[in-house]
A and B are shown apart, each in its own frame.
Chain A
Amino acid sequence: MAAHVAHDETEFAPPAEVGEFELYHPRTFIGKYIWSQDAKVIAIQYALTAMGIGLVALVFSWLMRLQLGFPGTVPFIDPSVYLQLVSMHGMIMVIYLLTALFLGGFGNYLIPLMVGARDMVFPYVNMLSYWIYLLAVLLLVVSFFVPGGPTGAGWTLYPPQAILDGTPGARWGILLMLVSLGVFVIGFTMGGLNYVVTVLQARTRGMTMMRLPLTVWGIFMATILALLAFPALFVSAIMMFLD
């Protein structure tokens, strides 16, 4: 009995625009799992880092709720520390966890699989994107330990509140936060260009845009929005840093 073909389009699907080519094959452990250019490995790196820093933010949210439920029970949570917990929780959850996990993690893992591409179109830039993201996370973590602690200006970091004396972390904390945010935007832009170009240019034969799974459409649209929004954030971060 012949194999069942649910939807055979070999007759009219146009030929692939990108021909078959040899992929990068790492041979060492470091090449395969650390400085990896494989979208799946990068996806896991993104996801693990995002969830790691997300767990920190989760602990912050526990501390906030402890203070709300049982005021004054945790001795080190004074109003300044509370605002720092709120600010860092919000910032990590929105930027360093959700953006990185949904776009960096799911995007890298699912886009090539779902559009039928062999890998992302710019594997090396993809790798750099992750390491720059990791640098942004580390800079954020460093801000927890500088004099005055991290910024407590709320996760919108709006001026002049963020740089006024009396706002927690108004000196070192906010500076590191802004540098971290700038670095994050650079890293994200590298990844984002990859997702968009891969979706637009590296789909397999017969995978028209209207046949893309909704998951890919979601990641694609979110990436476009982020690519449009983040440059403004980047410029704002630089301007406030200079202030």
Chain B
Amino acid sequence: MLALGSVLFHFLSPWYFTPIASNWRTIDSTISITFWVTGFVFVAVSLFTAWAVVRYRHRPGGRASYEPENKKLEVWLLVVTALGVAAMLAPGLVVWADVVKVPADAHVVEVVSQQWNWGYRLPGRDGKLGTVSPRFVTDENFFGVNPADASGGDDVLVASPELHLPLGVPVKLLLRSKDVLHDFAVAEMRVKMDMVPGLVTYVWFTPTRAGTFDILCQELCGVGHFAMRGKMVVDEPAAYQAWLDRQQTFAQSKGRARGDVAAGQALYAVCAACHGASGEGNVALNAPKLSGQGAWYLERQLRNFKQGARGTHDKDVFGKMMAPMAATLTDDAAMANVVAYIASLPDTPVPATLKGNLASGERRYATCAACHGGDGGGIAATQAPRLRGMSDWYMARQLKNFRDGVRGSHAQDLHGHQMALVAGMLADDAAIGDVLAYVNSVKPR
């Protein structure tokens, strides 16, 4: 019954491997062979046990014969067991030989992990990745690319959890970690490899199906481990090229042209009505402080509002008010100009409006600090905005919005999605108050 039930369950169960989307069908075959071998042995042993129970049942006067050794039987069992074990192990060795042997024409992508972010670097036109070193890692240089290395200038940097890959092209992933152990895993690709600080590990595969697949960290990497998610988008070649062309190179990220402050001042006149002439914010009008916030963050949010990734949820009352305002900024240059003007405004701290338990807030903030920095100053490399000295009432509302799915639920708001997961850690409004009270109390480092 047990054997029959197990076999039926195996074939009828809806829980099996997720449909494969890469060349690693041999990995699935290896596991299937293991299932067949172990399944056969399991059924055979079960049937033998059932037969023995019936055949050697108690009979009056029956005696067991003592036969401690039987060389013939032992040799026979040894050979059959060895064959079974070899049948399970040998295919794995063959597949492993393929796993470690990367095709020479594989397209190289470097994956860099850090609590709880993914970043990707692709070689530029020279086909070569520039050298990296922890010495060069800064808020602006997430990957630690060596500025003096000429081959690093054209490296394409993807500061987003979303990685695009071309369909049907072998890809070799070079895996690095900047802090603790992480693990890059995409179930559909049958790809899973640890990322160890100080080592560069690798894995390769050929995507065989276009689509979007989840990238998960599968090595416990701290409290925010569950929020360390990314996306792998497998594109047709033309779509891939279009995506690649939109990405910034290392040289471009360094030499990024600043916006025109004078032009931005004219555009800011509309913003000033709510956010204040100095960008100091206005609680009565539900407009947060802007001055002192990272330009990269303001630009991203303006883009999100403009593209509908933010401010479209029914319950996001104030976000819906901001969306048409962002739409008045006609292009990227206009956004850069207005952000440049905001960056020129005096960064006057705003008074705290929230109170909470500082000890509880400090304990909770340890998780936030991984991305936002120990002093809440914000870190561009981890895509986390400044918190310290900003409008606490606004942050409280946004945390609630994130937690309740009002913000961060749009498919294009990848960073918002991660923040929504993390905000779920703040179970109630008191917890939010505690964290923000602590943020109000920290001093810049």
Contact = CB atoms under 8 A, between A and B. Distances in A.
A83 B367 contact: no
A154 interface: yes
A168 B223 contact: yes
Interface string B202-228: 000000000000000000111110100
Interface string A60-87: 0000000000001001001110010010
A79 B425 contact: yes
A160 B179 contact: yes
B366 interface: yes
B66 interface: yes
A165 B180 CA distance: 12
Scoring A7, A75, A165 by chain B CB atoms within 10 A of each residue's CB, the highest score goes to A165
A165 B366 contact: yes
B222 A167 contact: yes
Contacts of A78: 425, 427
Interface string A178-209: 00000000000000000000000000000000
Given A79-B223, A83-B220, A166 B181 contact: no
Contacts of A7: 66, 68
Nearest to B368: A166
A166 B222 contact: yes
Interface string B419-434: 0000001010000000
B370 interface: yes
Interface in B339-371: 366-367, 369-370
B222 A161 contact: yes
Nearest to A4: B63
A158 interface: yes
Contacts of A56: none
Given A75-B427, A79-B223, A158 B369 contact: no
Interface string B177-204: 0011100000000000000010000000
Contacts of B366: 165-166
A158 B367 contact: no
Interface string A212-224: 0000000000000
A34 interface: no
B66 A164 contact: no
A166 B367 contact: yes
B283 to A, nearest CB: 30
Nearest to A77: B427
Please tell me the size bucket of the interface on B: 10 to 19
Nearest to A87: B220
Interface string A145-168: 000000011100010110011111
A24 to B, nearest CB: 35
B221 A83 contact: no
A160 B370 contact: no
B427 A164 contact: no
A242 interface: no
Contact of A166 (B66, B197, B370, B427): B370
Interface in B132-166: none
A2 interface: no
A23 interface: no
A1 interface: no
A6 interface: yes
Contacts of A160: 179-180, 197
Given A79-B223, A166-B367, A6 B181 contact: no
Given A72-B427, A75-B427, A78-B425, A164 B180 contact: yes
Contacts of A161: 180-181, 220-222
Interface string A82-118: 0100100000000000000000000000000000000
Scoring B181, B220, B369 by chain A CB atoms within 10 A of each residue's CB, the highest score goes to B220
A118 to B, nearest CB: 25
Scoring A72, A78, A166 by chain B CB atoms within 10 A of each residue's CB, the highest score goes to A166
Contacts of B370: 166
Contacts of B222: 161, 164, 166-167
Contacts of A167: 222-223
A72 B427 CA distance: 8
Contacts of B66: 6-7
A4 to B, nearest CB: 10
A190 B221 CA distance: 35
B253 to A, nearest CB: 28
B72 to A, nearest CB: 17
Nearest to A161: B180
Interface string B44-85: 000000000000000000000010100000000000000000
Contacts of A165: 366, 369
Interface of B: 66, 68, 179-181, 197, 220-224, 226, 366-367, 369-370, 425, 427
Interface of A: 6-7, 72, 75, 78-80, 83, 86, 152-154, 158, 160-161, 164-168, 211
Q: Which 10 A-B pairs have the closest CB atoms?
A: A166-B366, A154-B220, A161-B180, A6-B66, A79-B223, A79-B425, A165-B366, A166-B367, A80-B223, A167-B222
13 contacts: A72-B427, A78-B425, A79-B224, A79-B425, A153-B220, A154-B220, A158-B181, A160-B179, A160-B197, A165-B369, A166-B223, A166-B370, A167-B222
Given A79-B367, A166-B223, A211-B68, 12 more contacts: A7-B66, A152-B223, A153-B220, A160-B179, A160-B180, A164-B179, A164-B222, A165-B366, A165-B369, A166-B366, A167-B222, A167-B223
